[in-house]
Copies of this chain bind each other. A is one copy, B any other.
Amino acid sequence: MTDTPDPEILVARLLERDALASLLGVELIEAELGRCVLRMTVRPEHLNGYGGGHGGILFSLADIAFAMASNSRGHIAVGINASISYFVGTKEGDVLYARAVELNRSRRLGSYRIDVERADGTLVAAFTGTVHITEKPVA
């Protein structure tokens, strides 16, 4: 049974091709079917006008985890919508983890929950997103 690629290999390949992940410095920690953990350190270029970590950066980190988890089953999945709540601020040097889990998956739709945490376990932001699942295999 070689028709389903190993999710860890598949996600590593997808992440490598994701230009925004490279731009932001997002690393893969682990991936399974429907789940993954990513890591990113808040850099000077990630700050907003007040010197804190930009909300767009937290969203992007969660959004990349969302893409990885939803594509990990081998079919191309396209984001339909997402929402995020921000709980605590971040600052330069903070190490952030995005942990994605699958809430539900049917033939055409999938929903994922991504918690963004600091290295000390504090919940920084909570993200929920839904994808449309296509019939195309992830190349």
Residue positions of A touching B, CB distance < 8 A: 14-15, 17-20, 22-23, 44-50, 54-57, 59-60, 63-64, 67, 71, 76, 78-89, 103-104, 108-109, 111, 113, 123, 126, 128, 130, 132
Contacts and interface: CB of A to CB of B under 8 A. Distances in A.
A50 B113 CA distance: 22
B63 A55 contact: yes
B85 A84 contact: no
20 contacts: A15-B49, A19-B45, A19-B47, A19-B48, A20-B45, A20-B47, A20-B56, A20-B57, A49-B67, A54-B60, A55-B63, A78-B86, A81-B81, A81-B83, A81-B130, A83-B83, A85-B103, A87-B104, A104-B123, A109-B132
A104 B88 contact: yes
A89 B130 CA distance: 16
Contacts of A23: 23, 45
Nearest to A87: B104
Contacts of A89: 78
A128 B89 CA distance: 19
A85 B111 contact: yes
Contacts of A108: 108, 132
B49 A56 contact: no
